[in-house]
Structure 1
Amino acid sequence: METKLFNNLLGILLNVVFPIKMLLRLYSFCILMVDIAWVVFNAVCAILQAVYELFRPPPLKSVRLETALVIGSGRGVGREIAIQLADLGAIVLCVDKNSTSNDSTIECIKSKGGSAVGYTCDITKKENVQMLAAQLKKDVGFVSMLFYCCGIPSPRSLMTQPPQDIHDTLDVTLTSYFWFIDHFLPDMKAKNHGHIVALTSVAGLSYIKDQMPLSVAQFAVQGLAESLTEDLRVNKIDGVHVTLTHIYPFVVSDESANIKLRIPSYFGTITPSKAAKSILESVRRNYFEASVPKHLLYLGHLLRILPRKATVLIRDLLDTGVDFA
Protein backbone atom coordinates (compact mmCIF):
# COMPACT_ATOMS: atom_id res chain seq x y z
CA MET A 1 0.00 0.00 0.00
CA GLU A 2 2.75 2.40 0.95
CA THR A 3 4.73 1.46 -2.17
CA LYS A 4 1.71 2.09 -4.38
CA LEU A 5 1.14 5.49 -2.75
CA PHE A 6 4.78 6.41 -3.19
CA ASN A 7 4.67 5.48 -6.87
CA ASN A 8 1.56 7.57 -7.37
CA LEU A 9 3.15 10.60 -5.73
CA LEU A 10 6.34 10.14 -7.76
CA GLY A 11 4.32 9.96 -10.96
CA ILE A 12 2.45 13.16 -10.11
CA LEU A 13 5.73 14.91 -9.28
CA LEU A 14 7.36 13.84 -12.55
CA ASN A 15 4.32 14.99 -14.53
CA VAL A 16 4.66 18.42 -12.94
CA VAL A 17 8.46 18.74 -13.25
CA PHE A 18 8.75 17.47 -16.81
CA PRO A 19 6.58 20.22 -18.39
CA ILE A 20 8.51 22.83 -16.37
CA LYS A 21 11.79 21.57 -17.82
CA MET A 22 10.33 21.60 -21.30
CA LEU A 23 9.06 25.14 -20.84
CA LEU A 24 12.46 26.29 -19.59
CA ARG A 25 14.18 24.73 -22.60
CA LEU A 26 11.65 26.28 -24.95
CA TYR A 27 12.15 29.65 -23.29
CA SER A 28 15.95 29.38 -23.63
CA PHE A 29 15.59 28.39 -27.26
CA CYS A 30 13.33 31.39 -27.95
CA ILE A 31 15.80 33.75 -26.28
CA LEU A 32 18.62 32.30 -28.41
CA MET A 33 16.61 32.77 -31.60
CA VAL A 34 15.83 36.38 -30.67
CA ASP A 35 19.53 37.06 -29.99
CA ILE A 36 20.54 35.48 -33.29
CA ALA A 37 17.91 37.48 -35.18
CA TRP A 38 19.08 40.69 -33.49
CA VAL A 39 22.71 40.00 -34.42
CA VAL A 40 21.80 39.19 -38.04
CA PHE A 41 19.64 42.32 -38.30
CA ASN A 42 22.40 44.57 -36.97
CA ALA A 43 25.00 42.87 -39.17
CA VAL A 44 22.87 43.53 -42.26
CA CYS A 45 22.39 47.14 -41.17
CA ALA A 46 26.15 47.52 -40.70
CA ILE A 47 26.80 46.14 -44.19
CA LEU A 48 24.22 48.47 -45.73
CA GLN A 49 25.69 51.42 -43.83
CA ALA A 50 29.19 50.54 -45.08
CA VAL A 51 27.93 50.37 -48.67
CA TYR A 52 26.11 53.67 -48.24
CA GLU A 53 29.25 55.35 -46.85
CA LEU A 54 31.16 54.32 -49.95
CA PHE A 55 29.01 56.81 -51.85
CA ARG A 56 28.26 59.25 -49.01
CA PRO A 57 31.25 59.28 -46.64
CA PRO A 58 30.86 60.61 -43.09
CA PRO A 59 31.48 64.36 -42.75
CA LEU A 60 34.99 65.60 -42.04
CA LYS A 61 35.52 66.57 -38.43
CA SER A 62 37.47 69.68 -37.52
CA VAL A 63 40.95 69.42 -36.01
CA ARG A 64 41.21 73.12 -35.28
CA LEU A 65 42.94 73.79 -31.93
CA GLU A 66 43.50 70.06 -31.41
CA THR A 67 46.92 69.31 -29.91
CA ALA A 68 48.46 66.81 -32.31
CA LEU A 69 51.64 64.91 -31.48
CA VAL A 70 53.41 63.71 -34.64
CA ILE A 71 56.15 61.15 -34.02
CA GLY A 72 58.51 61.05 -36.98
CA SER A 73 57.81 64.53 -38.34
CA GLY A 74 61.24 65.12 -39.84
CA ARG A 75 60.70 63.54 -43.24
CA GLY A 76 58.35 61.87 -45.65
CA VAL A 77 54.71 61.33 -44.81
CA GLY A 78 55.19 62.34 -41.16
CA ARG A 79 56.49 65.76 -42.21
CA GLU A 80 53.56 66.30 -44.58
CA ILE A 81 51.05 65.23 -41.94
CA ALA A 82 52.49 67.77 -39.50
CA ILE A 83 52.35 70.55 -42.10
CA GLN A 84 48.80 69.77 -43.19
CA LEU A 85 47.57 69.48 -39.61
CA ALA A 86 48.92 72.95 -38.94
CA ASP A 87 47.19 74.22 -42.10
CA LEU A 88 43.94 72.86 -40.67
CA GLY A 89 44.42 74.82 -37.46
CA ALA A 90 45.88 72.17 -35.16
CA ILE A 91 48.67 72.84 -32.67
CA VAL A 92 51.39 70.46 -33.84
CA LEU A 93 54.03 68.91 -31.59
CA CYS A 94 56.81 67.66 -33.87
CA VAL A 95 59.03 64.84 -32.60
CA ASP A 96 62.00 63.39 -34.45
CA LYS A 97 65.49 62.19 -33.60
CA ASN A 98 66.96 64.34 -36.38
CA SER A 99 66.82 67.90 -35.06
CA THR A 100 67.83 69.45 -38.38
CA SER A 101 65.03 67.92 -40.42
CA ASN A 102 62.56 68.47 -37.57
CA ASP A 103 63.48 72.17 -37.40
CA SER A 104 62.91 72.37 -41.14
CA THR A 105 59.37 71.05 -40.67
CA ILE A 106 58.68 73.57 -37.90
CA GLU A 107 60.03 76.45 -39.98
CA CYS A 108 57.79 75.43 -42.86
CA ILE A 109 54.75 75.38 -40.57
CA LYS A 110 55.52 78.75 -38.97
CA SER A 111 56.24 80.37 -42.33
CA LYS A 112 52.65 79.58 -43.28
CA GLY A 113 51.25 80.99 -40.04
CA GLY A 114 50.77 77.67 -38.28
CA SER A 115 51.54 76.69 -34.69
CA ALA A 116 54.25 74.10 -33.99
CA VAL A 117 56.73 73.13 -31.30
CA GLY A 118 59.67 70.80 -31.85
CA TYR A 119 61.19 68.08 -29.67
CA THR A 120 64.26 65.95 -30.39
CA CYS A 121 64.01 62.40 -29.06
CA ASP A 122 65.30 58.91 -29.72
CA ILE A 123 62.08 57.04 -29.05
CA THR A 124 63.71 53.60 -28.99
CA LYS A 125 64.78 54.22 -25.37
CA LYS A 126 62.01 54.05 -22.78
CA GLU A 127 63.52 56.66 -20.48
CA ASN A 128 63.60 59.13 -23.39
CA VAL A 129 59.91 58.57 -24.07
CA GLN A 130 59.12 59.06 -20.37
CA MET A 131 61.03 62.34 -20.26
CA LEU A 132 59.39 63.52 -23.48
CA ALA A 133 55.89 62.67 -22.21
CA ALA A 134 56.52 64.54 -18.95
CA GLN A 135 57.83 67.57 -20.86
CA LEU A 136 54.86 67.57 -23.24
CA LYS A 137 52.34 67.42 -20.40
CA LYS A 138 54.18 70.27 -18.71
CA ASP A 139 54.31 72.40 -21.86
CA VAL A 140 50.89 71.82 -23.42
CA GLY A 141 48.88 69.68 -21.01
CA PHE A 142 46.42 67.46 -22.84
CA VAL A 143 47.51 65.80 -26.10
CA SER A 144 44.36 65.01 -28.06
CA MET A 145 45.83 63.40 -31.20
CA LEU A 146 48.72 60.97 -31.54
CA PHE A 147 50.23 60.22 -34.96
CA TYR A 148 52.84 57.48 -34.91
CA CYS A 149 54.68 57.69 -38.24
CA CYS A 150 57.76 55.60 -37.42
CA GLY A 151 58.68 52.26 -38.93
CA ILE A 152 57.67 53.09 -42.51
CA PRO A 153 60.62 51.98 -44.69
CA SER A 154 61.65 53.72 -47.88
CA PRO A 155 61.59 51.73 -51.13
CA ARG A 156 65.35 51.98 -51.52
CA SER A 157 66.02 50.72 -48.02
CA LEU A 158 63.77 47.72 -48.68
CA MET A 159 65.73 46.82 -51.78
CA THR A 160 69.32 47.73 -50.95
CA GLN A 161 69.73 47.29 -47.21
CA PRO A 162 70.03 43.93 -45.44
CA PRO A 163 67.09 42.70 -43.32
CA GLN A 164 66.61 44.77 -40.20
CA ASP A 165 67.76 43.74 -36.76
CA ILE A 166 64.80 42.14 -34.99
CA HIS A 167 65.07 44.17 -31.79
CA ASP A 168 65.61 47.48 -33.56
CA THR A 169 62.68 46.84 -35.89
CA LEU A 170 60.31 45.92 -33.05
CA ASP A 171 61.47 48.88 -30.93
CA VAL A 172 60.87 51.44 -33.67
CA THR A 173 57.71 49.93 -35.11
CA LEU A 174 55.89 48.55 -32.08
CA THR A 175 57.46 48.88 -28.62
CA SER A 176 57.82 52.66 -28.70
CA TYR A 177 54.24 52.92 -29.90
CA PHE A 178 53.14 51.03 -26.78
CA TRP A 179 55.04 53.47 -24.59
CA PHE A 180 53.39 56.52 -26.14
CA ILE A 181 49.94 54.96 -25.83
CA ASP A 182 50.58 54.18 -22.16
CA HIS A 183 51.43 57.83 -21.50
CA PHE A 184 48.68 59.58 -23.45
CA LEU A 185 45.72 57.20 -23.72
CA PRO A 186 44.64 57.46 -20.04
CA ASP A 187 44.08 61.22 -20.40
CA MET A 188 42.09 60.65 -23.60
CA LYS A 189 39.94 58.09 -21.82
CA ALA A 190 39.37 60.40 -18.87
CA LYS A 191 38.20 63.21 -21.17
CA ASN A 192 36.49 60.82 -23.62
CA HIS A 193 38.18 62.73 -26.43
CA GLY A 194 41.11 61.91 -28.66
CA HIS A 195 42.43 60.13 -31.72
CA ILE A 196 45.29 57.64 -32.05
CA VAL A 197 46.72 57.10 -35.53
CA ALA A 198 49.15 54.36 -36.52
CA LEU A 199 50.89 54.22 -39.88
CA THR A 200 52.24 50.91 -41.11
CA SER A 201 53.66 49.77 -44.40
CA VAL A 202 51.64 47.40 -46.54
CA ALA A 203 53.60 44.64 -44.78
CA GLY A 204 50.75 44.82 -42.30
CA LEU A 205 48.49 43.41 -45.02
CA SER A 206 50.87 41.04 -46.78
CA TYR A 207 54.41 39.72 -46.35
CA ILE A 208 57.26 41.65 -48.03
CA LYS A 209 60.01 39.53 -49.53
CA ASP A 210 63.16 39.16 -47.39
CA GLN A 211 61.71 41.47 -44.70
CA MET A 212 60.36 39.07 -42.09
CA PRO A 213 61.12 41.20 -38.98
CA LEU A 214 59.43 44.20 -40.60
CA SER A 215 56.40 42.18 -41.68
CA VAL A 216 55.98 40.66 -38.22
CA ALA A 217 56.25 44.08 -36.57
CA GLN A 218 53.72 45.62 -38.97
CA PHE A 219 51.25 42.78 -38.41
CA ALA A 220 51.70 43.37 -34.67
CA VAL A 221 50.82 47.05 -35.06
CA GLN A 222 47.59 46.01 -36.77
CA GLY A 223 46.83 43.69 -33.85
CA LEU A 224 47.59 46.50 -31.41
CA ALA A 225 45.20 48.86 -33.18
CA GLU A 226 42.42 46.28 -33.21
CA SER A 227 42.97 45.43 -29.54
CA LEU A 228 42.96 49.11 -28.64
CA THR A 229 39.68 49.64 -30.49
CA GLU A 230 38.13 46.68 -28.71
CA ASP A 231 39.33 47.99 -25.35
CA LEU A 232 37.63 51.33 -26.03
CA ARG A 233 34.43 49.56 -27.10
CA VAL A 234 34.30 47.30 -24.04
CA ASN A 235 34.84 50.28 -21.75
CA LYS A 236 32.13 52.25 -23.62
CA ILE A 237 34.47 55.10 -24.60
CA ASP A 238 33.06 56.44 -27.85
CA GLY A 239 34.93 59.76 -27.95
CA VAL A 240 38.39 58.25 -28.55
CA HIS A 241 39.04 56.93 -32.05
CA VAL A 242 41.72 54.74 -33.61
CA THR A 243 42.83 54.85 -37.25
CA LEU A 244 45.21 52.32 -38.77
CA THR A 245 46.61 53.26 -42.18
CA HIS A 246 48.61 50.91 -44.40
CA ILE A 247 51.06 52.66 -46.71
CA TYR A 248 52.54 51.01 -49.77
CA PRO A 249 56.16 52.27 -49.67
CA PHE A 250 56.85 51.80 -53.39
CA VAL A 251 53.92 54.09 -54.19
CA VAL A 252 54.57 56.87 -51.68
CA SER A 253 58.14 58.07 -52.09
CA ASP A 254 60.25 60.95 -53.28
CA GLU A 255 62.58 58.31 -54.75
CA SER A 256 59.88 56.67 -56.86
CA ALA A 257 61.13 58.26 -60.09
CA ASN A 258 63.91 55.68 -60.25
CA ILE A 259 61.68 52.70 -59.46
CA LYS A 260 60.13 50.43 -62.05
CA LEU A 261 56.95 48.61 -61.05
CA ARG A 262 55.61 45.42 -62.60
CA ILE A 263 52.11 46.88 -63.06
CA PRO A 264 52.49 50.70 -63.14
CA SER A 265 48.87 51.26 -64.17
CA TYR A 266 47.67 49.39 -61.06
CA PHE A 267 50.01 50.85 -58.46
CA GLY A 268 51.06 54.23 -59.80
CA THR A 269 52.96 56.68 -57.60
CA ILE A 270 51.86 59.59 -55.43
CA THR A 271 53.75 62.22 -53.47
CA PRO A 272 54.03 62.20 -49.67
CA SER A 273 51.84 65.31 -49.68
CA LYS A 274 48.96 63.50 -51.40
CA ALA A 275 49.47 60.48 -49.14
CA ALA A 276 49.25 62.70 -46.05
CA LYS A 277 46.07 64.30 -47.39
CA SER A 278 44.50 60.86 -47.87
CA ILE A 279 45.54 59.79 -44.37
CA LEU A 280 44.13 62.91 -42.74
CA GLU A 281 40.88 62.49 -44.66
CA SER A 282 40.50 59.00 -43.17
CA VAL A 283 41.32 60.33 -39.71
CA ARG A 284 38.86 63.19 -39.99
CA ARG A 285 36.13 60.75 -41.02
CA ASN A 286 36.98 58.52 -38.01
CA TYR A 287 37.68 55.49 -40.18
CA PHE A 288 39.25 52.61 -38.30
CA GLU A 289 41.30 51.28 -41.21
CA ALA A 290 42.52 52.81 -44.45
CA SER A 291 45.32 52.40 -46.95
CA VAL A 292 47.41 54.42 -49.37
CA PRO A 293 46.47 53.87 -52.13
CA LYS A 294 42.90 53.21 -51.02
CA HIS A 295 42.19 50.15 -53.17
CA LEU A 296 44.90 48.11 -51.43
CA LEU A 297 42.74 47.91 -48.31
CA TYR A 298 40.04 46.03 -50.20
CA LEU A 299 42.69 43.77 -51.70
CA GLY A 300 43.98 43.01 -48.21
CA HIS A 301 40.50 42.11 -46.99
CA LEU A 302 40.01 39.88 -50.03
CA LEU A 303 43.24 38.01 -49.35
CA ARG A 304 42.07 37.21 -45.81
CA ILE A 305 38.95 35.33 -46.90
CA LEU A 306 40.20 33.50 -49.99
CA PRO A 307 41.69 29.99 -49.83
CA ARG A 308 45.43 29.88 -49.29
CA LYS A 309 46.20 28.75 -52.84
CA ALA A 310 44.16 31.59 -54.36
CA THR A 311 45.87 34.08 -52.03
CA VAL A 312 49.31 32.91 -53.15
CA LEU A 313 48.37 33.23 -56.83
CA ILE A 314 47.11 36.80 -56.37
CA ARG A 315 50.23 37.78 -54.41
CA ASP A 316 52.45 36.36 -57.15
CA LEU A 317 50.49 38.31 -59.76
CA LEU A 318 50.67 41.58 -57.85
CA ASP A 319 54.23 41.14 -56.60
CA THR A 320 55.88 44.52 -57.09
CA GLY A 321 58.60 43.25 -59.37
CA VAL A 322 60.50 46.35 -58.26
CA ASP A 323 63.64 47.29 -60.11
CA PHE A 324 65.82 50.39 -59.96
CA ALA A 325 66.77 52.27 -63.07
Structure 2
Amino acid sequence: MAVRVTQNMLNSNMLRNLHNSMRNMDKLQDQLSSGSKIAKPSDDPVVAARGMFYRSSLMENDQYKRNVSEAQSWMDMTDGTMDEVGNVLKRIKELLVYSGDGAVSPEDLKTMGSEVQELKNHLGTLANQQINGKYIFAGTDTNKAPYDSTANGGNGDFVSTNNSPINLEVSQNVFVTSNINAQNIFNFPDNANNMFKVLDNIMTELNNGRGASQFISSLDQQYDKLLAERASLGASVNRVDLIAERLHSQEVNITGLMSKNEDADMAEVMTDLKTQESVHSAALGSGARIIQPTLLDFLR
Protein backbone atom coordinates (compact mmCIF):
# COMPACT_ATOMS: atom_id res chain seq x y z
CA MET A 1 0.00 0.00 0.00
CA ALA A 2 1.34 3.42 -0.96
CA VAL A 3 2.17 5.84 1.85
CA ARG A 4 1.28 9.46 1.44
CA VAL A 5 4.30 11.71 2.01
CA THR A 6 3.41 14.96 3.69
CA GLN A 7 5.31 18.19 4.08
CA ASN A 8 5.72 17.54 7.81
CA MET A 9 7.35 14.20 7.05
CA LEU A 10 9.81 15.88 4.71
CA ASN A 11 10.58 18.55 7.30
CA SER A 12 11.06 15.98 10.09
CA ASN A 13 13.38 13.81 8.00
CA MET A 14 15.40 16.85 7.00
CA LEU A 15 15.83 17.97 10.62
CA ARG A 16 16.76 14.46 11.76
CA ASN A 17 19.41 14.17 9.05
CA LEU A 18 20.77 17.61 9.91
CA HIS A 19 20.97 16.65 13.59
CA ASN A 20 22.82 13.43 12.72
CA SER A 21 25.23 15.38 10.54
CA MET A 22 25.86 17.91 13.31
CA ARG A 23 26.33 15.09 15.83
CA ASN A 24 28.96 13.48 13.61
CA MET A 25 30.75 16.80 13.19
CA ASP A 26 30.65 17.36 16.96
CA LYS A 27 32.19 13.93 17.56
CA LEU A 28 34.96 14.59 15.04
CA GLN A 29 35.64 18.01 16.52
CA ASP A 30 35.92 16.43 20.00
CA GLN A 31 38.44 13.93 18.67
CA LEU A 32 40.38 16.71 16.98
CA SER A 33 40.50 18.91 20.10
CA SER A 34 41.17 16.12 22.64
CA GLY A 35 43.34 13.89 20.47
CA SER A 36 41.45 10.85 21.78
CA LYS A 37 39.24 8.41 19.91
CA ILE A 38 36.62 8.28 22.66
CA ALA A 39 35.24 10.69 25.23
CA LYS A 40 33.29 8.16 27.28
CA PRO A 41 33.24 4.35 27.53
CA SER A 42 30.00 4.04 25.56
CA ASP A 43 31.72 5.50 22.49
CA ASP A 44 33.73 2.28 22.13
CA PRO A 45 33.59 -0.23 25.02
CA VAL A 46 36.45 -2.32 23.59
CA VAL A 47 38.82 0.67 23.43
CA ALA A 48 37.73 1.74 26.93
CA ALA A 49 38.35 -1.74 28.39
CA ARG A 50 41.79 -1.97 26.81
CA GLY A 51 42.61 1.53 28.07
CA MET A 52 41.75 0.52 31.62
CA PHE A 53 44.00 -2.54 31.32
CA TYR A 54 46.93 -0.48 29.99
CA ARG A 55 46.53 2.13 32.73
CA SER A 56 46.42 -0.58 35.37
CA SER A 57 49.59 -2.07 33.91
CA LEU A 58 51.30 1.32 34.02
CA MET A 59 50.33 1.81 37.67
CA GLU A 60 51.75 -1.60 38.56
CA ASN A 61 54.91 -0.84 36.61
CA ASP A 62 55.31 2.48 38.44
CA GLN A 63 55.02 0.71 41.81
CA TYR A 64 57.61 -1.87 40.75
CA LYS A 65 59.92 0.98 39.72
CA ARG A 66 59.49 2.58 43.14
CA ASN A 67 60.34 -0.75 44.79
CA VAL A 68 63.43 -1.08 42.61
CA SER A 69 64.48 2.45 43.50
CA GLU A 70 64.12 1.67 47.20
CA ALA A 71 66.12 -1.55 46.82
CA GLN A 72 68.85 0.34 44.95
CA SER A 73 69.00 2.95 47.71
CA TRP A 74 69.39 0.26 50.38
CA MET A 75 72.03 -1.56 48.38
CA ASP A 76 74.01 1.59 47.60
CA MET A 77 73.98 2.60 51.25
CA THR A 78 74.94 -0.91 52.33
CA ASP A 79 77.79 -1.13 49.83
CA GLY A 80 79.17 2.27 50.84
CA THR A 81 79.00 1.35 54.52
CA MET A 82 80.69 -2.02 53.95
CA ASP A 83 83.45 -0.25 52.04
CA GLU A 84 84.02 2.01 55.03
CA VAL A 85 84.03 -0.99 57.39
CA GLY A 86 86.71 -2.57 55.19
CA ASN A 87 88.82 0.59 55.41
CA VAL A 88 88.58 0.53 59.22
CA LEU A 89 89.63 -3.12 59.35
CA LYS A 90 92.59 -2.42 57.08
CA ARG A 91 93.72 0.40 59.35
CA ILE A 92 93.45 -1.87 62.40
CA LYS A 93 95.51 -4.51 60.61
CA GLU A 94 98.21 -1.90 59.92
CA LEU A 95 98.31 -1.16 63.63
CA LEU A 96 98.55 -4.87 64.47
CA VAL A 97 101.46 -5.34 62.09
CA TYR A 98 103.18 -2.30 63.54
CA SER A 99 102.57 -3.51 67.10
CA GLY A 100 104.59 -6.64 66.32
CA ASP A 101 107.74 -4.54 65.92
CA GLY A 102 109.86 -5.12 68.98
CA ALA A 103 111.17 -1.56 68.82
CA VAL A 104 107.74 -0.08 69.58
CA SER A 105 107.52 1.24 73.15
CA PRO A 106 104.70 0.35 75.55
CA GLU A 107 103.53 3.96 75.42
CA ASP A 108 103.17 3.73 71.64
CA LEU A 109 101.24 0.50 72.02
CA LYS A 110 98.84 2.19 74.44
CA THR A 111 98.39 4.99 71.92
CA MET A 112 97.53 2.36 69.33
CA GLY A 113 95.02 0.93 71.79
CA SER A 114 93.34 4.33 72.01
CA GLU A 115 93.14 4.53 68.24
CA VAL A 116 91.66 1.04 68.04
CA GLN A 117 89.06 2.15 70.60
CA GLU A 118 88.05 5.06 68.38
CA LEU A 119 87.96 2.80 65.34
CA LYS A 120 85.73 0.37 67.22
CA ASN A 121 83.38 3.22 68.13
CA HIS A 122 83.26 4.16 64.47
CA LEU A 123 82.45 0.56 63.53
CA GLY A 124 79.56 0.72 65.99
CA THR A 125 78.32 3.84 64.24
CA LEU A 126 78.57 2.08 60.88
CA ALA A 127 76.71 -0.96 62.26
CA ASN A 128 73.88 1.42 63.18
CA GLN A 129 73.76 3.01 59.73
CA GLN A 130 70.25 4.12 58.77
CA ILE A 131 68.35 5.00 55.63
CA ASN A 132 65.05 6.83 55.93
CA GLY A 133 65.14 6.15 59.66
CA LYS A 134 65.58 2.39 59.24
CA TYR A 135 68.61 0.40 60.38
CA ILE A 136 70.07 -1.42 57.39
CA PHE A 137 71.97 -4.08 59.39
CA ALA A 138 69.14 -5.13 61.70
CA GLY A 139 67.31 -7.58 59.47
CA THR A 140 63.57 -6.96 59.65
CA ASP A 141 63.93 -5.21 63.05
CA THR A 142 64.59 -1.97 61.22
CA ASN A 143 63.46 0.16 64.17
CA LYS A 144 65.94 -1.35 66.65
CA ALA A 145 69.63 -0.40 66.73
CA PRO A 146 71.72 -3.55 66.14
CA TYR A 147 74.77 -2.13 67.95
CA ASP A 148 74.47 -1.22 71.62
CA SER A 149 77.31 0.83 73.08
CA THR A 150 76.25 -0.12 76.62
CA ALA A 151 76.29 -3.89 76.01
CA ASN A 152 79.11 -6.23 77.06
CA GLY A 153 79.77 -4.41 80.30
CA GLY A 154 79.77 -1.00 78.64
CA ASN A 155 82.31 -2.00 76.00
CA GLY A 156 79.70 -2.09 73.23
CA ASP A 157 78.61 -5.06 71.15
CA PHE A 158 76.46 -6.11 68.21
CA VAL A 159 73.27 -7.27 69.93
CA SER A 160 70.97 -7.95 66.98
CA THR A 161 70.34 -11.60 66.08
CA ASN A 162 67.82 -10.91 63.29
CA ASN A 163 69.02 -12.29 59.96
CA SER A 164 65.67 -12.15 58.11
CA PRO A 165 65.74 -10.76 54.56
CA ILE A 166 63.73 -7.74 53.46
CA ASN A 167 62.11 -8.74 50.17
CA LEU A 168 60.62 -6.28 47.70
CA GLU A 169 58.44 -7.28 44.75
CA VAL A 170 59.96 -5.80 41.60
CA SER A 171 57.80 -7.68 39.08
CA GLN A 172 54.87 -10.04 39.23
CA ASN A 173 55.91 -12.78 41.71
CA VAL A 174 59.55 -11.67 41.41
CA PHE A 175 61.22 -10.58 44.66
CA VAL A 176 64.68 -9.22 45.46
CA THR A 177 66.36 -8.95 48.85
CA SER A 178 67.36 -5.36 49.57
CA ASN A 179 69.42 -6.04 52.71
CA ILE A 180 72.27 -8.37 53.63
CA ASN A 181 72.71 -10.83 56.48
CA ALA A 182 74.63 -8.62 58.89
CA GLN A 183 75.24 -11.61 61.17
CA ASN A 184 77.85 -12.76 58.64
CA ILE A 185 79.76 -9.52 59.14
CA PHE A 186 79.36 -8.17 62.66
CA ASN A 187 78.54 -11.46 64.44
CA PHE A 188 80.93 -13.80 62.62
CA PRO A 189 81.55 -16.60 63.52
CA ASP A 190 79.36 -16.12 66.61
CA ASN A 191 78.59 -13.45 69.13
CA ALA A 192 81.30 -14.65 71.53
CA ASN A 193 83.99 -14.24 68.87
CA ASN A 194 82.58 -11.51 66.65
CA MET A 195 84.33 -8.49 65.21
CA PHE A 196 83.84 -6.32 68.29
CA LYS A 197 85.06 -9.02 70.70
CA VAL A 198 88.22 -9.38 68.60
CA LEU A 199 88.78 -5.63 68.88
CA ASP A 200 88.25 -5.80 72.64
CA ASN A 201 90.96 -8.46 72.88
CA ILE A 202 93.27 -6.36 70.73
CA MET A 203 92.72 -3.31 72.94
CA THR A 204 93.38 -5.33 76.08
CA GLU A 205 96.81 -6.34 74.79
CA LEU A 206 97.71 -2.90 73.48
CA ASN A 207 96.54 -1.06 76.61
CA ASN A 208 98.76 -3.38 78.66
CA GLY A 209 101.74 -2.40 76.52
CA ARG A 210 101.91 -5.70 74.63
CA GLY A 211 101.87 -6.35 70.91
CA ALA A 212 98.69 -7.74 69.32
CA SER A 213 99.98 -9.15 66.04
CA GLN A 214 98.64 -12.57 67.01
CA PHE A 215 95.14 -11.32 66.18
CA ILE A 216 95.99 -10.64 62.52
CA SER A 217 94.62 -14.00 61.38
CA SER A 218 91.33 -13.41 63.24
CA LEU A 219 91.03 -9.97 61.71
CA ASP A 220 91.77 -11.41 58.25
CA GLN A 221 88.90 -13.85 58.69
CA GLN A 222 86.59 -10.96 59.53
CA TYR A 223 87.78 -9.04 56.47
CA ASP A 224 87.41 -12.06 54.16
CA LYS A 225 83.84 -12.57 55.34
CA LEU A 226 83.14 -8.91 54.68
CA LEU A 227 84.47 -9.25 51.14
CA ALA A 228 82.33 -12.33 50.54
CA GLU A 229 79.17 -10.51 51.64
CA ARG A 230 80.08 -7.50 49.54
CA ALA A 231 80.58 -9.70 46.46
CA SER A 232 77.18 -11.26 47.04
CA LEU A 233 75.67 -7.79 47.35
CA GLY A 234 77.34 -6.77 44.09
CA ALA A 235 75.64 -9.63 42.26
CA SER A 236 72.28 -8.51 43.67
CA VAL A 237 72.96 -4.93 42.58
CA ASN A 238 73.62 -6.09 39.01
CA ARG A 239 70.35 -8.02 38.97
CA VAL A 240 68.36 -5.06 40.27
CA ASP A 241 69.94 -2.79 37.64
CA LEU A 242 68.84 -5.20 34.91
CA ILE A 243 65.32 -5.28 36.35
CA ALA A 244 65.25 -1.46 36.39
CA GLU A 245 66.16 -1.36 32.69
CA ARG A 246 63.47 -3.91 31.87
CA LEU A 247 60.83 -1.95 33.77
CA HIS A 248 61.78 1.21 31.88
CA SER A 249 61.45 -0.61 28.54
CA GLN A 250 58.16 -2.09 29.68
CA GLU A 251 56.83 1.36 30.53
CA VAL A 252 57.69 2.61 27.04
CA ASN A 253 55.99 -0.39 25.42
CA ILE A 254 52.81 -0.09 27.48
CA THR A 255 52.61 3.65 26.80
CA GLY A 256 52.97 2.97 23.07
CA LEU A 257 50.19 0.38 23.13
CA MET A 258 47.92 2.73 25.06
CA SER A 259 48.60 5.48 22.53
CA LYS A 260 47.74 3.22 19.60
CA ASN A 261 44.56 2.14 21.36
CA GLU A 262 43.25 5.57 22.38
CA ASP A 263 44.88 8.32 20.35
CA ALA A 264 43.04 9.55 17.30
CA ASP A 265 44.66 9.62 13.86
CA MET A 266 44.71 13.38 13.30
CA ALA A 267 45.06 13.21 9.52
CA GLU A 268 42.13 10.82 9.29
CA VAL A 269 39.98 12.87 11.68
CA MET A 270 40.60 16.11 9.77
CA THR A 271 39.76 14.42 6.48
CA ASP A 272 36.56 12.96 7.93
CA LEU A 273 35.63 16.35 9.38
CA LYS A 274 36.02 18.12 6.04
CA THR A 275 33.97 15.37 4.38
CA GLN A 276 31.25 15.71 7.02
CA GLU A 277 31.19 19.48 6.56
CA SER A 278 30.61 18.97 2.84
CA VAL A 279 27.81 16.51 3.58
CA HIS A 280 26.26 18.97 6.02
CA SER A 281 26.39 21.79 3.48
CA ALA A 282 24.73 19.54 0.90
CA ALA A 283 22.06 18.60 3.44
CA LEU A 284 21.35 22.26 4.15
CA GLY A 285 21.10 22.96 0.42
CA SER A 286 18.68 20.12 -0.21
CA GLY A 287 16.67 21.09 2.86
CA ALA A 288 16.19 24.59 1.52
CA ARG A 289 14.55 23.11 -1.58
CA ILE A 290 12.32 20.76 0.39
CA ILE A 291 10.76 23.46 2.61
CA GLN A 292 7.39 24.46 1.11
CA PRO A 293 7.34 28.00 -0.32
CA THR A 294 5.30 30.49 1.62
CA LEU A 295 2.60 32.85 0.27
CA LEU A 296 5.21 35.63 0.06
CA ASP A 297 7.29 33.51 -2.35
CA PHE A 298 4.27 33.28 -4.70
CA LEU A 299 3.60 37.02 -4.42
CA ARG A 300 7.12 37.77 -5.68
Q: TM-score range by the shorter chain?
A: under 0.3
From the two aligned structures, give the one with the greater helix fraction.
Answer: 2
From the two aligned structures, give the one with the greater strand fraction.
Answer: 1
- Highest relative contact order (Cα 8 Å, sep 6+), 1 or 2? 2
TM-score of the superposed pair, with normalisation by structure 1: 0.24
